[in-house]
Amino acid sequence: MTEQKKYRACVGIALFNRNGDVFVGERIDTPNAWQMPQGGIDAGEDVIEAAYRELYEETGVVRENAELLELSATVTQYDFPKDIEGHPIYKSHLGQRQNWVAFRFKGDDSDIDLDAHEEKEFAQWEWSALKDVSNRIVPFKRKTYDQVISMFSKYTK
């Protein structure tokens, strides 16, 4: 008997700078696909702790440089497309359910270190207007990003 595939519990992070722009990184494994930091929630880990951990692992931003703005009440969900069937995550998950967290970045750009963690996620990064982010994401995540834009647009200028 095979175990039924489930949605992976994840956290997504909108890191806003002082100008109201949001951090986006270009995925190493998908050139020209940009996204905000995100990752799985470990067993026994709460959403906020997962957000701080993932933020550090993917950007090098330490807790002291990330002021919590909001944990969204809305949980988003997307399905993985069939064309990633060879990826290990596809074998055990239908897609991802994400809790989104907004932070205000209190550091300097030099505090961002994409090499902070051994499993590097992004090839490069930049600040982007939040409204432009869904146009840069892989198509199967666009609906989720449109929801994030709606949830967190109040933190832009």
Query: Would you identify the CATH topology of the domain 6-152?
Result: Nucleoside Triphosphate Pyrophosphohydrolase (3.90.79)
When pLDDT is averaged across residues 25-43 and rounded to a whole number, the result is 94
> Cα 101 to chain center, whole Å?
9
pLDDT of 89: 66
pLDDT of 1: 35
Q: Determine contact, residues 13/145, Cβ cutoff 8 Å.
A: no
CA dist list (Å): 76 to 28, 98, 106, 122: 24, 5, 27, 22
Listed by start position, the domains of the chain span: 6-152
pLDDT value at 2 more than 50:
no
Q: Determine contact, residues 53/45, Cβ cutoff 8 Å.
A: yes
As a whole number, the mean pLDDT across the chain is 92
Residue 56, both tokens: 């550090």
User: Model confidence at 81, in pLDDT bands (50, 70, 90)?
Assistant: confident
* This prediction's pTM: 0.92
When pLDDT is averaged across residues 123-148 and rounded to a whole number, the result is 95
Buried-exposed string 53-86: b where 16+ CB fall within 10 A, e elsewhere: bbbbbbbbbeeebbeeeeebeeebebebeeeeee
CA distance 89 to 119: 15
pLDDT value at 3 more than 70:
no
